[in-house]
Structure 1
C-alpha cells in the first residue's frame, strides 16, 4: 500500500489528428461562380448585338426599361428635383388651406398630357404593328425607329446601304420613301396631332468644293412634306419643316448612309 501511494499519477493526453490540411473555406467558389456568370452574360450581350437588327435591339431595350417613372422623360414630378409641389392637389401648405384654383389647373393639365401620351403610344403600337401584315411591309419597317419624347412621337425613317430614301443621282424620293409616307398618313388618321418634318444628311468629304448639306437637307424635308400631303394628309397639319444638314449624325461615321434620314414628329 505504501509503495502504491508513492507512485506517480498517470496522465493521459488525447491528441487530435487532422488529416487533409483542414477546411480553408469556400468563399472563392462563390466568387468564381459570379465571375463565370458575368462572363456568360457578357458573351450573351455580344452575341445579341451581332445577331439582331437595330429594331430588334430597341425592342429588347424597351423590354428591360423600368415601368416605374424616374424622371420627366418617362414621367415623374416637374419640380427642381422631380418632386411634388406643396400647391398640388395631393399636398397642402402648412396653413391648411387647399389651393383649389391652382390644383384644378394642374390636375387638368396633367390629365390632358396623360391622355395625349396614351394616344401617341397607341399610334406607335399601330405603326409598328403593320410589320406582321406582309414580308414587304416587314422590310420597310426595318427603316423605321420610333421613340416617345417630351416633344411628341418621333418617327425616324433612315436609309440603308442598298435601300436609299432618295435617288443618289436625281435626288428624287424612292418608292420606299413614298410607301413610308403613305403608311404614316394612314396611321396618323387616328390622331389629330400637328406634325413637324425634319431631314438629316451625311457629311460630304472635306475636299468637296461645294458643300450642299444644308440645301440637301432642307430640300429633302420639303419633299417629305409634299409626299405626306400627296398621300392625303390634311393641309395645315404640318407646322414645321427643318433641314439639319449633317449637324446631328446618328452614327460615329458622319459620312455613313445611315445618317441620311427623315424625322416626322407627331407633336404633343
Structure 2
C-alpha cells in the first residue's frame, strides 16, 4: 500500500527576511555616514587649530583672521576665502626677518666689539617678536640712567639698523632695592633707562615716534635667577623688542 505524499507548505513571506536584512544594512550605512561626517568636522577643527598655532608666530595670517570661522553664518551668501598671507614662506636659503635682523645685529656687534664689554648685547626670540637686550654692564653705570659715552656709537648703528616698525623699549632691574635722591625705587630706575634708550633711538635713527613705546618693569620680569651675581647682571637690562603685531606696542 503506497504512502500518500505530503505536500510541502510554500512560505510566500520569505522575501520579508531579505527585505529586513536590506533595511538593516541601509540603516547601518547611514549611521556610518553620519559618524564619518561628525568625525571629519572634529578633524577639520583640529587641523584649523594646528594651522593657526603654526602660522601665528610667523605673522602669516592677518590680524582679523586669527580665528577663521569653520562654517558660514546661515545668512551668508558669499563663499569664505582664505586670508591673504602677510609674508611668503621662507624658502631654502632664505632667512626670516627675525633671523636676518639677528645676523645684521651680530655683524654690528662684532664690528664694535672692542668698545663694549663681553655680553653687553644679546638677542632672543620672544612671543612678541625679536628682543635685543642691552645689559647694564655696557650701557649704564650702577644705579644710573645716563647712557655711557662709549656705548653711543653702537647705539647709533643700532638705531640706523632697526627698521621703521613698531617696537617697545622695556627697562628691567634685579631685585636689589634702590633708594637715591634721583630714584626712590627700581620702578623709577627701569623707566628712566627705557626712556633714555628710546630717546636715543629716535634721535639717531629714522624710526617714527608713533612706532615707539617705553616702559619700566623693575625686577618683576627677570630672565635669570636673582640668587647669583651673574643672574642679577643678566636681569639689569633694557630690552628693545621689535614687534610682529602693531597692537602689541599700545
TM-score band (shorter)? 0.5 to 0.7
Given that 2:191 and 2:216 are in contact with CA atoms closer than 8 Å, whether structure 1 keeps it comes out as yes
Given that 1:204 and 1:211 are in contact with CA atoms closer than 8 Å, whether structure 2 keeps it comes out as no
Instruction: Find the counterpart in structure 1 of residue 111 from structure 2.
Output: 133
Instruction: Find the counterpart in structure 2 of residue 6 from structure 1.
Output: none
After TM superposition, give the deviation of residue 219 of structure 1 in Å: 0.9
After TM superposition, give the deviation of residue 176 of structure 1 in Å: 4.4
Q: Distance in 2 between matches of 1:114 and 1:178?
A: 37
After TM superposition, give the deviation of residue 228 of structure 1 in Å: 1.0
Q: Distance in 2 between matches of 1:145 and 1:131?
A: 9
Spell out, residue by residue over 1:168-220, the C-alpha distance to the aligned partner (whole angstroms, 9 max, x if none).
365421134423421321211xx331211110011225999x95111111111
Given that 1:199 and 1:263 are in contact with CA atoms closer than 8 Å, whether structure 2 keeps it comes out as yes
Q: Distance in 1 between matches of 2:150 and 2:164?
A: 25
Match of 1:122 among 91, 95, 100: 100
Given that 1:140 and 1:180 are in contact with CA atoms closer than 8 Å, whether structure 2 keeps it comes out as no
TM-score by length of 2: 0.55
Given that 1:144 and 1:156 are in contact with CA atoms closer than 8 Å, whether structure 2 keeps it comes out as yes
Residue 151 to residue 247, structure 1, CA distance change in 2 (3 Å): same
Q: Which runs of 5+ in 2 are unaligned?
A: 1-52, 62-66, 73-77, 245-250
Q: Which runs of 5+ in 1 are unaligned?
A: 1-69, 79-83, 94-98
- SS at structure 2 position matched to 1:111: coil
Spell out, residue by residue over 1:111-154, the C-alpha distance to the aligned partner (whole angstroms, 9 max, x if none).
33858x833332221111224436416x5673222223342221
Given that 1:251 and 1:259 are in contact with CA atoms closer than 8 Å, whether structure 2 keeps it comes out as yes
TM-score by length of 1: 0.52
Displacement over 4 Å in runs of 4+ = 70-78, 84-87, 205-208
Q: Considering only aligned residues, what root-mean-square deviation do their CA atoms show, in Å?
A: 4.2
